[in-house]
Amino acid sequence: EVQLVESGGGLVKPGGSLRLSCGVSGITLSIAWMNWFRQAPGKGLEWVGRIKGKPDGETTDYAAPVKGRFTISRDDSKDTLYLQMNSLKTEDTAVYYCAAEDSSNINDYWGQGTLVTVSS
């Protein structure tokens, strides 16, 4: 059974940093394509970024609002995906979800999410 468990959310001041983690089980993280999505309170779903699997070069791409501020990485030995968030803005306040993308680019497994609040 595939399980994704996010952690690391919390309250941070504007301009601050936070690192989210996503513990992965039931899939081989090193070859998996993994995504981060977010959902602002009462709003819709937004893609944040993706990291490809090792065989595909582990390349990353990001949504325009976070490019240059957020970085996706992973530690395959710990079966953990990360989202490093720097220079946080109030508009980054959201529940952040990690998701696993299958070979057909479908994000069919999602974690429960972790809330990030950016406020002074």
Partner 1 sequence: DIVMTQSPDSLPVSLGERATINCKSSQSVLYNSNNKNYLAWFQQKPGQPPKLLIYWASTRESGVPDRFSGSGSGTDFTLTISSLQAEDVAVYYCHQYYSTPYTFGQGTKLDIK
Binding site for partner 1 (CB under 8 A): 35, 44-47, 50, 61, 63-64, 97, 101, 104-108, 110-113
For residue 48, the minimal CB distance to partner 1 (Å) is 9
For residue 90, the minimal CB distance to partner 1 (Å) is 21
- Locate 1 and state its tokens: 């059974």
CA distances from 115 to 25, 33, 78, 85 (A): 21, 23, 22, 13
Distance between CA atoms of 119 and 76, rounded to whole angstroms?
33
For residue 79, the minimal CB distance to partner 1 (Å) is 19
With respect to partner 1, which residue has the nearer C-beta, 17 or 56? 56
With contact defined as beta carbons under 8 Å apart, do 37 and 47 qualify?
A: yes
With respect to partner 1, which residue has the nearer C-beta, 18 or 98? 98
For residue 77, the minimal CB distance to partner 1 (Å) is 26
Distance between CA atoms of 103 and 95, rounded to whole angstroms?
26
With respect to partner 1, which residue has the nearer C-beta, 31 or 45? 45
- Locate 97 and state its tokens: 């979800």
